[in-house]
Structure 1
Amino acid sequence: MTSDAHFWLTTAVVGMTIMLWASARLPEYLTALLFFASATLLNIVPTSTIFSGFASSAFWLVLSGFVLGAAIRKVGLAQRWANWLVVPLSQSWPRMVAGTIVLTYLLALVMPSNMGRIALLMPVVLALGERAGIKAGSQGSIGLALAVGFGTFQLSASILPANVPNLVLSGAAESAYQLHLQWLPWWLLNMPVVGIGKAVVLTGCLLFLFRAKPQPVKHRDALAPLSGSEWRLMGLLAVTLLLWMTDSVHGLSAAWIGLAAACICLLPRVGFLTGDDFATGVNFRTCIYIAGILGLATVVVDSGLGRLIANALLSVLPLQDHPSFGNFAVLSALVSLLNFVLTANGVPAMVTPMAQELAGASGFSLLSVIMLQVFAYATPLLPYQASPVVVAMGLGNVPAKAGLKLCVWVFIFSVLLLLPLDYGWFRLLGYA
């Protein structure tokens, strides 16, 4: 096969996969399986690249997150924690939505894993909704599940270690330019817009798209004392959370910590889940979907398709030779376009090595070009571009169209309202 034919085959497979995910014409797991089948049959890249998603730490963190979430629900901890939150949050629907989003951000300050935070929060928030009369599968339940997913992914981009794309960007900047990005400068630059501003936009969109009338709860239920299973699971979660928080000290990946905790949950007599609980508690459809997203991103990078797309876009970008809001918007648009192909985890790995050329063409500093990526990859247009959002939709049984609708509305208002604010904040701090 000639190199041109090989390139066009790769482009066709990647393009069809993205279109099927974006249009939701087929179930997301089926599209992932079709990607695996077509990529292997056509031999566009080595099979190790195609199936690299199954070897990724993100895949195993997703799987372990499902197991931990199932254990939290089974032993009753979700209902117990929801009982503590239900009085202050159930007084109104805006308070419930905003309170959920605030919870996602507070947890991101101490827990570095998006998937782990979603696994912990989702059963608690859904139990909170049911306690306030919001039935599973209702518009209110869908809105709460999306608040967990979108709040966890989008807002956490303002905290350096709390988001996988952030870590990819930091590592790429260090390896390419010896730039060591630090927690506090990152947070000061991104918190006002990506943290607070995004929270306001997300809350407004959720309240507009999803309506519910929670029943105000005046008093907490009188619950039985903590059982032995609850104490043991709380101990396991505390150790897991501590290890997640100190990953920079011991060097263990959050995925393998989560996998070890999941294995303990499944052990006979020691754990909390049976084989049947595992079969029903783990959404294997979402796991396959995540493996497909990660595999697709690796195929795009390893095949050279991503580099060709980036260079082609760079050659036609209407950049001026001095810093301006126009240049800021154009570079953000470049990251957003690449997000369609690479997804959020892959974008910083592709754009950061090009940052020097982009800085020269736009008049921005190298650090400014590197950092402006954060807003763009934290604002996906379609759910598949952010795997934590997909995981949250799976855990919360959210229909694909509901997630797509919220994603589009948040993207539109973020671009119209927050992108100019982001540029103004960059200028105020001397980055632009």
Structure 2
Amino acid sequence: MRSYLSKMVSSTRLPPREERETAIEAAGYNVFNLDAEAVYIDLLTDSGTGTMSDEQWAALFRGDEAYAGSSSFSAFEDAVESVMGFEHVVPAHQGRGAENVLYGTLFEDGDVVPNNTHFDTTRAHVANAGANPVDCPVEDAMDPDAPGDFKGNLDLDCVRALADEHGAESIPAIVLTITNNSAAGQPVSVENTREASALAEELDVPLVVDACRFAENAHFVKQREAEFANASVAEIAREQLSYADAVVMSAKKDGITNIGGFVAVRDPDLFEQVKQRAILYEGFTTYGGMAGRDLEALAVGLREAVEDEYVTQRVGQTQALGDALDAAGVPIYQPVGGHAVYLDAEKMVPEVPASQFPGQALVVELYRQGGVRAVELGSFAFPGTDRPELVRLALPRRTYHREHIDHVVETAAAVLETADSVPGYEIVAEPPNEELRHFSAELKPV
């Protein structure tokens, strides 16, 4: 098991209960509106919130800030080809920038886009292109108590049914998200990826892999798919991504950087289209909205992400949090995913009706009780979809220690003890884009 030595530290404090009460009310009972200094342990996301290694910090000093053709881009390009097997790559400032570049190229009005489960910005980008995002998870994906090694898989029959109903020509691509964030961070098997690739070839469309947690997914494959028991995480990652025609990546996850993303493709013609859109929205094709120093750090981070010892420690910490919560009687989604533990809000706050956002009620209470910031991934974040009321505790990479894990468990247990007094919530202000309302909407207790 890998461990880490601290070469730099920052301090944090638990604000007094009175300060937390005032802060969450002023934030409209939406933790996205909280100041970071008002939070003690921040599990809102694992995106860009992790800790870089000393090798990554050293790489920052090698940053070549040339506008075009920088050596930092070459280092990044080499890392993408070596780790992920893609020769053609276009950087973007982060994952949603990469989604805009690729999905704005591939999708148009009237298209139907199947995904094992769309996450929030993915769903919004598909809808923004005029297309219809359709979730095709496997049967048990939305059941927090169902067993299963690969509950993140794509339901291939669902995709076939869409092709039969709307016509194969209406499907511009099949998207596969690994791991499946909206299905509690559950992994996707290599076998399912192969089958999705074969179906995409049958429909004559590209298979796009959202690869932001590809290394964590490869770790689960090693543990659960017999064919790969003796393979390394790096070998599994290359194999799984070999079935994709394109990848879209938020490098703020398994790139282990604080900013960045990219699109990688195999088709030279699609590459040219993506480059032109990237110039319009992100920047020139050898920096794509990123500083050269960040490209250098990303090149190192991609290679570190597929080191077996690193991934074992990373996923192991998440499992340790899940085990501790389970031992404390806190209901969680099982099995535990790679980047986060998902709390079952319907079981934790059963007195809050579905119409009053039990997941958001739990999020507010976690902050109120212990200064822990989590995120709701239920009916508040995904209106109009049939998903369980889950609350995600996403662990930043290489950041928190055992005492922080203990505090999170104690906080969740305290919420469970006072669950009968937790109020529901109603929305009092929200943006026009419903798919993104959870980022800025304001609520009040019912």
TM-score range, shorter chain: under 0.3
Of Structure 1 and Structure 2, which has the larger fraction of its residues in helix?
A: 1
Q: TM-score, normalised by structure 2?
A: 0.27
Of Structure 1 and Structure 2, which has the larger fraction of its residues in strand?
A: 2
Q: TM-score, normalised by structure 1?
A: 0.27
